[in-house]
Amino acid sequence: MTAALPARRPPAGRGLAGLRVPAWLGTPVRRLVTAVAVLWAAATTAYAALLLAPGDTVDILVGDGADTPEIRAQIVAEWGLDRPEAVRYLSYLGRLLHGDLGRSYQLQRDVGEILAGQVGPTVRLTLAAAAVGVVLAVAVAVATAGRSVWPRRIVSAAELVAVSVPQFVIGIVLLFVFSFSLGWFPVSGAADPQALVLPALALGLPVAGVLGQVLREGLERALEQPFAVTARSRGLSERAVVARHALRHALLPAVTLAGWFTGVLLGGAVITEALFGRPGLGRVTMQAVTGKDMPVVMAVVILSAAVYVTISALLDLAYRLIDPRLRSA
Amino acid sequence: MTELAVTRAHPAAAGAAPLVAVEDLRVSFPASGVEAVRGLSLSIAPGECVALVGESGSGKSVTARSLIGLAGPGATVRASAFRVGGGDALTFGPREWRRVRGRFAGLVLQDALVSLDPLRTVGAEITEVLAEHDVVPRPARPERVRALLAAVGVPDPDARAGQHPHQLSGGLRQRALIASAIAAEPELIIADEPTTALDVTVQAQILRLLAERKAAGTALLMISHDLAVVAAIADRVLVMKDGLVVEEGPAREVLTTPRHDYTRELLAAVPSMSAGSRRPTGTLSPTPAPRDPVLAVTGVSVAYGSRRAVDGVSFRLHAGETLGVVGESGSGKTTLARLALGLLAPDAGEVSLRGGPWSALPERRRRPLRPAIQVIAQNPLDSFDPRHTVGRLVADPLSALPRRQRRERAIELLGRVGLPPELLGRRPRELSGGQRQRVAIARALASRPEVLICDEPVSALDVSVQAQVLDLLAEIQAEDGTALLFISHDLGVVRHLSDRVLVMKDGRVVEEGDVDEVFRHPRHPYTRELLAAVPRLPCSPDERVTG
Amino acid sequence: MAVAAPVARSAARSAARAGARVRPGLVLALLVLAVLVVAVAAPGLITRVDPLAADPLRALAPPGAGHPLGTDHLGRDVFARVVYGARHSLGIGALATALAVGAGSLLGLAAGLAARLAGEALARLFDVLSTFPELLLALLVIAITGPGTWNVVVAIGIAQIPTYARVVRAQTFVVRRSGYVEQAVTFGHSRARVVARHVLPNVVGPVPVLATIGLGQAVIATSGLSFLGMGPQPPAPEWGTMLAESRDYLRVASWVAFSPGVALTLSVVCLTVAGRHLQRRFEGRTP
């Protein structure tokens, strides 16, 4: 889904995934514990979905694929369906620990293999979109924070629209203007770098909207703080006060949001890839959901949790670098 | 780096041009329709210390900030003459103002925890001034930062320069803030409530430091709500009220023989440290008869983790008596209040109420007794349900009464604290600070408590409002014979109201006794230190007779 | 008091003035929302044209007489489809939000009021669940249930539960530890009374505000799933489905995409504007 609103942003000042672990565990240990917890929860949620689904587990795992006695026997063996419930669950976790994401019985290929082949285009798309979002948001926020009323009104209206327009509507507008009318960019595919421009914009603009709002709010709040008054009283120009003092403060809430942006980008990639006919993880996910290929769907859930965990850990580090109060705490 | 203290030739020669000369200064905020300053004239001579004194909303801060072009966003500043640092400030553009700021005048605000950038090191903050005004070439800057920190009395300046504000104690970071304000060797320091967030002993140190800067030839514009703080350092005092100066003159004159009613009112309201000011109503005998105590605390201790917040504290509180508890921040005063209220269970020791068990009871059995012991908190707004009107708030403890009687009783209670019944339908946010605290008192009285615990009840109030609330408490006690446990960091306030006093430090009671005895002949060194640190008004003639 | 009172009063007055000032944006948003409510409740009042009636001879006709917003590839009236589409897009969004808010608030309250260990465990569960991208969680549900109107309601509802549960739990926690709840305890009120009179009202208060903003996001999610072909199945006129169908004719008939796109965007913008207004008013009232 597209970007949600800052009103629903996760509470600031919490660590990885908002989890709290007793302070006596050192920071690196804590980060590891929470990361493992999130991954375990993702794996268990996917597994629970499989169990909760109505009908026979074998039928579900076959999905819309070819249903032969050989495949059924293979499923029973690989998922340990002839063994007790607990053993099944543990062997599922054990398999994941070895990096084995299971097998798609529809495609008769290893899920890991399927996903690995599609990671590249999706990574390119999400990174490009993140860059679009961050660059636009920072530029606009710095340019308008503390300015007179009218530029701020215009920008905040633009942000409101960017936040409210679904990614696929932005995408369709971009397609209509730049592909069909002007012919600047290809309609679909992922062959050349030019084909990345429109999808990245469609995916990145809503992120820019939310991020821009958060940054501008943060800048304006920081500029009202006593330390900003002190900085001005030293003879600093307003631009220097923003650059040297306020921007870092404004970045803090934005950084806590960044883990959430990862989710928005991953989810949005599904829609963007469908709209622009790009290959990638989103396309694979859609095919799997449509064909009820559960092993692939489950693997996508686990993979996205892993991506989230990694990025959160990096951001946690960034947060500590920006805010010394957390370092010594 | 002793040269720092006297780098500039002393300009305070007689007849030198004033640093600042403003006439008919008017500052307004058209967006909100507020006229903060309405025609003020001010001049500051080189090396002089001028104090602007007034209560909140009097326009003193806005005045001070206007002098460096920082009156605030959307402010309109007008004046018939406005000379700052030898230039005509009426013609200043952003560039000229930036030359004034830091170089001509340094600004010291309240609470360095937020007035220094919390994300940057103290050294970086000071270096910023050196760089902006190119005071010394880049390679010499670290050495200059070290020297500045040393000059303001920060020990181990090399290590401190690399630390962030939150890693320093309140006193040290206020010193660092002052170091950054004087880094470009300004001729004027503007200090806006520079000691307000500090404990009294630290306040004394910072005031001494500012006095040193003054002695070194720097002029000082000091803004404070506290007349006593100003008395120690100011040459001249301007008393402000509603954007106007109501009285102006040499400090000693203004503080001892005030001419304006408002100044007299302010001075009278300051809870004096001298004897004889206690108990304005004077209806109760200061030594209660030896009866059973209503509240008895015996050897209570509470630890948060490894820190002992309260450590083996005992006291007795009798009906009609006021027991003051003084101590600086972190001394365990508020924890003691929560223990007495039965909101926190002691790790050791016991609290008993009316001779029966209290802390030892399970909450279910404590509930019926709770109306007997009530609390008035420092910030009443926090203690009010944000959705409720004044009427509902005051009637909240009266759940046993039928609706009609509850309303009548609420009106009666408001009347007792001097509030009109029209306020019943209002929300606390619409009230002034004093009115809010009166509502809190009315609510605390609703259940006719025998013990009233007041936790810093007047700390957030202006001094004139403070005096009214203290008088109200004394009056209520005289009428009802309520026992008061009065907690405050302010020794003057405690002395004003208490019969006996406990002095707390680090969770322990270091001294205890009759309030006059303790204040006149303190036995414990810490009490002596506290008392010595309290800023005092110069004695007026009548006090000299009795004191 | 003499000094402080006028200041406080004038501040209160100026705040009241600001609140009473008519905001054209808000009025416009409320008008649009009123029209949308009519479209959801009684689309027949707005258009008499059948949104499903196909006329292959008039396929992809540009806006003009008879078809104010043109026709789609099957010759169906775009205006009628947009009007009837409100019921699907907004209706599903509203039901999903109701599910998420209801379940999320109950779970959040439970976690906030429960004994320390149980509450912590629930809270950690919400934290973990809210780390998943909502769309993927919804797709996981759809993978099991298959596409369809009610399945989308359930999928989006479930996907958004953790968000509300977290917010409500955090709010419960704040209120439980607030000065006014502690004060109520000192009056000797029972735990049930304190919870009912002070905790619940202050926790539940902000929920409608959240739900208004959340509804906009749920509508986006609904149309997103429909765009992917998981929502109400053709020929049902859902805005996201209409957009998906229009993509193939974008070059020759942009109006087919234009109308549902505008309807969708306008709905979400208006919901957001209204939600933020509520939020500002709410925050202005509580400290």
Neighbouring chains of B at 3+ CB pairs under 8 Å are: A, C
Question: Is the backbone peptide bond immediately before C235 cis, with ω within 30 degrees of 0?
Answer: yes
What is the reported pLDDT for A9? 34
Statement: residue B442 has pLDDT above 60: yes
Q: Which residue has the higher pLDDT, B503 or B289?
A: B503
B543 pLDDT higher than 50: no
Phi, psi of C46 (to 5 degrees): -95, -40
Q: Chain B, 473-512: which have a CB under 8 Å from a chain C CB?
A: none
Predicted confidence band of residue A146 (pLDDT cuts 50, 70, 90): low
Whose tokens are 């803004």? That residue is B223
The CB density around residue B409, as the number of other CB atoms within 10 Å, is 16
Q: Give the ipTM of the model, two decimals please.
A: 0.81
User: Is pLDDT of C6 > 90?
Assistant: no
For residue C73, name the pLDDT band (cuts at 50, 70, 90). Answer: confident
pLDDT(A20) > 50: no
Check A304 against C136: CB less than 8 A apart. Answer: yes
CB neighbour class for B7 (10 Å; exposed up to 12, middle 13-18, buried from 19)? exposed
Range of the domain at C114: 69-283
Beta bridge partners of B348: B301
Looking at chain C, the whole-number percentage of residues with pLDDT higher than 70 is 91
Q: What is the pLDDT of residues C154-174, one digit of tens each?
A: 999 999 998 899 889 989 988
Calculate the average pLDDT of chain A: 82
Q: How confident is the model at residue C17 (pLDDT cuts 50, 70, 90)?
A: very low
- Please check whether residue C213 lies inside any domain of the structure: yes
* Structure confidence at residue B227 (pLDDT): 86
Is 90 exceeded by the pLDDT of residue C95? yes
Does any CB of chain A come closer than 8 Å to the CB of residue C248? no
Neighbour count for residue B136 (Cβ, 10 Å):
16
On whether residue C187 sits in a domain, the answer given is yes
- B395 has a pLDDT exceeding 60: yes
pLDDT of residue B505: 93
B-chain residue closest to C13, CA distance: B430
State whether C132 and A176 contact (CB < 8 Å).
no
Q: Could you tell me if B237 and B251 are in contact, meaning their C-beta atoms sit under 8 angstroms apart?
A: yes
Q: Kindly list the residues from chain C whose CB atom is less than 8 angstroms away from the CB atom of residue B366.
A: 188
Would C8 be classed as within a structural domain?
no
User: What pLDDT is attached to residue B383?
Assistant: 92
Mode of pairing for the β-strands spanning B236-241 and B244-250: antiparallel
Q: Which of C277, C206, C267 is nearest to C34 (CA)?
A: C267
Domain topology for A115-328: MetI-like fold (1.10.3720)
B158 vs C209: which has the higher pLDDT: B158
Stronger pLDDT, C69 or B353, i.e. the higher one:
B353
DSSP labels, B518-532: HHHS--SHHHHHHHH
Residue C93 lies in a domain: yes
Tell me the average pLDDT of chain B: 88
Evaluate if residue B44 carries a pLDDT over 50: yes
Q: What's the rounded Cα separation, in Å, for the pair A121 and A117?
A: 9
Decide if A186 contacts A277 (C-beta within 8 A).
Answer: no
Reduced to 3 states, what is the DSSP secondary structure of residue B44? strand
At B274 the pLDDT is 56
Closest partner residue to B367 among C1, C183, C190, by Cβ? C190
CA–CA separation, B441 and B431 (whole Å): 14
d(CA A19, CA A30): 9
Task: Over range B514-543, report the average pLDDT.
Answer: 83
Closest CA to B47 of B210, B161, B152, B188: B188
Percent of chain B with pLDDT over 70: 92
pLDDT of residue B46: 93
Average pLDDT, chain C: 84
A275 within 8 A of C247, measured Cβ to Cβ: yes
- The Cα C253–Cα C242 span in angstroms is 13
Q: Which two tokens stand for residue B385?
A: 């349900």
A267, A275, A312: residue with CB nearest C134: A267
B375–C186 CB contact, under 8 Å: yes
In which band, very low, low, confident or very high, does the pLDDT at B272 lie, cut at 50, 70 and 90?
Answer: low
Best residue of B225, B381, B432 to probe chain C, by most C CBs closer than 10 Å: B432
In chain A, whose CA is at the least distance from the CA of B100? A235
pLDDT computed for residue C22 by the predictor: 63
Is B420 part of the contact surface with chain C (CB cutoff 8 Å)?
A: no
Mutate to test the interface with A, among C101, C136, C262 (most CBs of A within 10 A): C136
Q: Do A325 and B103 touch (CB under 8 A)?
A: no
List the single residue in B102, B120, B121 with the smallest CB-CB distance to A233.
B102
Q: What is the percent of chain B where pLDDT is above 90?
A: 64
Q: What is the 3-state secondary structure (H, E, C) of chain A?
A: CCCCCHHHCCCCCCCHHHCCCCCCCCHHHHHHHHHHHHHHHHHHHHHHHHHHCCCCHHHHHHCCCCCCHHHHHHHHHHCCCCCCHHHHHHHHHHHHHCCCCCEECCCCEEHHHHHHHHHHHHHHHHHHHHHHHHHHHHHHHHHHCCCCHHHHHHHHHHHHHHHHCCHHHHHHHHHHHHHHHCCCCCCCCCCCCHHHHHHHHHHHHHHHHHHHHHHHHHHHHHHHCHHHHHHHHCCCCHHHHHHHHHHHHHHHHHHHHHHHHHHHHHHHHHHHHHHHCCCCHHHHHHHHHHCCCHHHHHHHHHHHHHHHHHHHHHHHHHHHHHCHHHHHC
Nearest CA to C246 out of C233, C258, C237 is that of C258
Candidates B292, B182, B270, B287; CA nearest to B225 is: B270
Whole-Å CA distances, C101 to B32, B476, C104: 39, 49, 5
C176 to chain B: nearest residue by CA? B385
What CATH code is carried by the domain that includes residue C165?
1.10.3720.10
Cα B60 to Cα B27: distance, rounded to the nearest angstrom: 11
CA atoms of A303 and A60, how far apart (whole Å): 21
Tell me how many domains chain C contains.
1
Global confidence as pTM: 0.80
Q: What is the pLDDT of residues A190-239, one digit of tens each?
A: 677 788 889 999 999 988 988 988 888 889 889 989 999 999 999 998 88
Cα A172 to Cα A275, C51, C231: the distances in Å are 8, 23, 19
> According to the model, what pLDDT value does residue C253 have?
82
Is a pLDDT exceeding 50 seen at residue B430? Answer: yes
More confident residue, B427 or C282: B427
Task: Identify the pLDDT of residue C285.
Answer: 52
For A190, B223, B293, the CA distances from A121, given in Å and listed in that order, are 8, 63, 79
Chain A nearest C-alpha distance from C197 (Å): 26
Across the interface, which of B366, B367, B432 has its CB nearest the CB of C4?
B432
Nearest to A1 by CA among A167, A155, A159, A120: A167
The C-alpha atoms of residue C98 and residue C153 are separated, in whole angstroms, by 10
* Helix (H/G/I), strand (E/B), else coil: B87: strand
Q: Where in chain A is the domain with CATH 1.10.3720.10?
A: 115-328
| Tens-digit pLDDT profile for residues B156-174 | 999 999 999 999 988 999 9
* pLDDT tens readout for residues C115-156: 778 888 888 788 777 777 888 889 888 988 888 899 999 999
| Res B394: pLDDT | 93
Which chains touch A (3+ CB pairs under 8 A)? B, C
Asked if the model's pLDDT at residue A258 lies above 70, the reply is yes
Per the domain annotation, does C201 fall within a domain? Answer: yes
- Using the Cβ of B111 and the Cβ atoms of chain A, whether some distance falls under 8 Å is answered with yes
Amino acid identity of residue A255, one-letter, is: V
Asked if the model's pLDDT at residue B4 lies above 50, the reply is: no
Mean per-residue pLDDT for B430-440? 90
Give the 3-state secondary structure percentages of chain B, helix then strand then coil, rounded to 5: 40, 25, 35
Model confidence pLDDT, tens digit, residues C198-208: 999 999 888 88
Of B315, B306, B309, B373, residue with least CA distance to B345: B309
Token readout for B372 is 């007997």
Chains touching chain C through at least 3 C-beta pairs below 8 angstroms are A, B
Q: Is the pLDDT of residue A43 over 70?
A: yes
In a domain, C249, yes or no: yes
N-term to C-term CA, chain B: 44
CA distance B363 to B366: 5
Contact A8, C214 (CB under 8 A): yes
Residue B110 distance to chain A (closest CA, Å) = 9
Distance CA B182, CA B161 (A): 15
**Residue C263 falls inside a structural domain:** yes
Domains of chain B: 112-176 (no CATH), 295-385+455-543 (3.40.50.300)
